[in-house]
Structure 1
Amino acid sequence: MIRRFFRHFIESLKSLKRNGWMTIAAISSVTITLTLVGIFASVILNATKLTADLTNNVRINVYLRANSTDNAQTIVNDQGQTVENPDYQSIYKQILALDNVKSVDYSSKEEQLEHLTTTLGETWNLFKGDANPLYDAYIIETTEPQYVKSVGKEIAKIDGVTEVRDGEVETERIFKLNSLVKTWGFAATGLLLFTAIFLISNTIRITIISRSREIQIMRLVGAKNSYIRGPFLLEGAWVGLLGAVVPSALVYFAYQLLYASVNDSLASQNLSLISMNVFVPAMIASLFVVGIVIGSLGSVISMRRFLKI
């Protein structure tokens, strides 16, 4: 068994060299196809990651009434005395007690104005002090993104809350986008892989047809089908392996460049691409595995379907 394998192994290497131009054509076909698969899979996987991050980043903004003292431990009473606030964090505690609430963070109107000034420019400095038109707010994160709407409705009933923004339209769009990317993205990747097998099998078919006389002679001398298939199966695997080298190199350098140039700006929005240390090794390994599998499968399909062996 081992002896036969090494015989087929050596024969497959000789066949690659003997059928020079046909081998180059087959490897080129695999290279082009796997390059498309690598690009498409990279886009789909990272788009899925980003939409998942967007979904997980959905927050509820709860705006309190003007001059709210919910987050003030002390207040000034009618006599001008500083006393303990009896309603300290009353709204906060009611929100935190609701089902499916993961965290509640306070954001003062001064902090919000500072964020707007940093984001939109110095013009917002005009609203500092008493001219600040914003409201104190609580930012709520739910245990799961799908609870955003239901939790928002419960919070709106709490006394002292003037407005609840859960990004209703944006949230629905993000959920739909996430579902769309997952469904159609992976369907398109599967279709591309099917197309790859079809194209490669046709390329290898031409190689096999050009050697049909060699196969007929082997059958006439009594060679078994498994013995005839062996070298062609390994040859297809070699074609797939060699065809995956260039796409793997492209994925390595292109993703490294993309990650370095894009990820920092995404990080400021609590988003990120798939980590370099995870994505690149996994994608390169996948390309080599896919290349070997579709090369071998293309060879088997071609021999069975077109040579009737």
Structure 2
Amino acid sequence: MKILRLFKTGIRDAFKGVFRNFSLSLAAIFSIVITLLLVTASIILSANLNNITKQIEKDITIVTFMQKDATDKDVDSLKGKLEEVDNIASFTYKSKAEIKKEISNDSDVFNALLSQFDDESVPLKNVFHIKVIDVRYINDTAKTIKGFEEVSAIQYGEGMVEQLVSVFSVIEKITIGVVIAMIVVSAFLISNTIKITIYSRRTEIDIMRLVGTSNFAIRFPHLVEGFIIGALGSIIPILATIYGYTIMYSNLDGYIFSKMFLLIKPYNFVYLISFVLFIIGSLVGMIGSYRAVRKYLKI
């Protein structure tokens, strides 16, 4: 019962403390709002860049042309070999007859040219379209495929793909670094602002110690107060995330520049970020309060 009473008293005193020192509490909340808005922008940018990178990597294909005189046995043989290559995620096969039909349907000119040939004599090659698991190793995978005797040539944008992957890797590392840096900076700023709020009440803490109040009874209301300030400070960034990102997604029709660069859909994404912002705000608020009060509880 005593612990329950301490909890109730601590929560009541925490709310009183927020409003009794409203100007300092407001300054702390404002600091949290600004820093969490910056964290939000960094997370959204990082997540969408990472999403776009994955989309582009997923679309990269190794087009593998078989020998002109390849038989059904050669096709089956190559399928078996491709299944043994570690970095291959999937592959699809198109016979030269299927390719002839597709090209003929797309263009009257090609239709007129290819209609002179039957499916066996048409001057085309059987093709495999191959997707890889990890684009970073696409060059090694392509070399392995090119070494098979059934293969005459491959195409996948050699050189350009490697440069693209390298650029995306650098961008991903930079954005992750920015997010981490923003979280650390926000934690530092919020913590120090909370400490200033607690510092202004050092006399009150000293008096409580002199009358024999336990460390827990002194610390708990301030921890709750830090939580309240952090939680209140996260409200505006959370609303900005939910409504701002949803409106932006709608106005941009879900993509940037072209449909090749799709944005993350808002529904689950904004609520996940909102949860992260609430945790960062409230947790850092509590940590800032704990560090500040601990200084005055040391003997």
% identity of equivalent residues: 28
Q: What residue number does 2:59 align with?
A: 57
1:243 counterpart residue number? 233
Matching residue of 2:243: 253
Q: Does the CA-based 8 Å contact 1:55-1:174 persist in structure 2?
A: no
Take 1:89 and 1:268, find their aligned partners in 2: how far apart are those partners?
Answer: 40
Alpha-carbon offset, residue 236 of structure 1: 0.6
Gaps of 5+ in 2: 115-122
Does residue 1:198 correspond to 2:188, yes or no? yes
Contact 1:59–1:141 (CA under 8 A) maintained in structure 2: yes
- Give 1:35 deviation, angstroms: 0.9
Look up the SS of the partner of 1:274 in the other structure: coil
Given candidates 84, 88, 104, the residue that maps to 2:92 is: 104
Q: CA deviation at 1:306?
A: 7.1
Q: Within 5 A, what are the aligned runs for 1:190-229?
A: 190-229=180-219
Letter in 1 for 2:40: G
Post-superposition shift, 1:244? Answer: 0.6
1:42 partner amino acid: I
User: C-alpha displacement at 1:48, in angstroms?
Assistant: 1.9
Which residue of the other structure, out of 223, 230, 238, is the alignment partner of 2:220?
A: 230
Q: In structure 1, which of residues 32, 36, 39 is the aligned counterpart of residue 38 of structure 2?
A: 36
Q: 1:242 to 1:155 in 2, by over 3 A?
A: same
Choose the corresponding residue for 1:289, options 279, 285, 290: 279
How far 1:224 sits from its partner (Å)? 2.2
Give the partner amino acid of 2:78: Q
Equivalence for 1:122: none
The amino acid of 1:164's aligned partner reads I
Q: Name 1:169's counterpart in structure 2.
A: 159
What is the Cα deviation at residue 298 of structure 1? 1.2
Q: State the alpha-carbon separation in 2 of the partners of residues 108 and 265 from structure 1.
A: 33
Q: Deviations over 1:193-215 (max 9, x none)?
A: 22112111221122122222211
AA in 2 matched with 1:193: I
Partner residue of 1:21? 23
CA-atom RMSD in angstroms: 3.4
> Following the alignment from structure 2 to structure 1, what is the Cα–Cα distance between the partners of residues 192 and 286?
12
Letter in 2 for 1:23: S
TM-score when normalising by structure 1: 0.76
Asked if the contact 2:18/2:225 (under 8 Å) is kept, the reply is yes
Cα distance per residue 1:234-259 (max 9 Å; x no partner): 11100110011100111111221233
Q: Which amino acid aligns with 1:233?
A: L
1:181 to partner: Cα distance: 4.3
Q: Which ranges in structure 1 are unaligned for 5 or more consecutive residues?
A: 71-86, 118-124
Partner residue, 1:3? 5
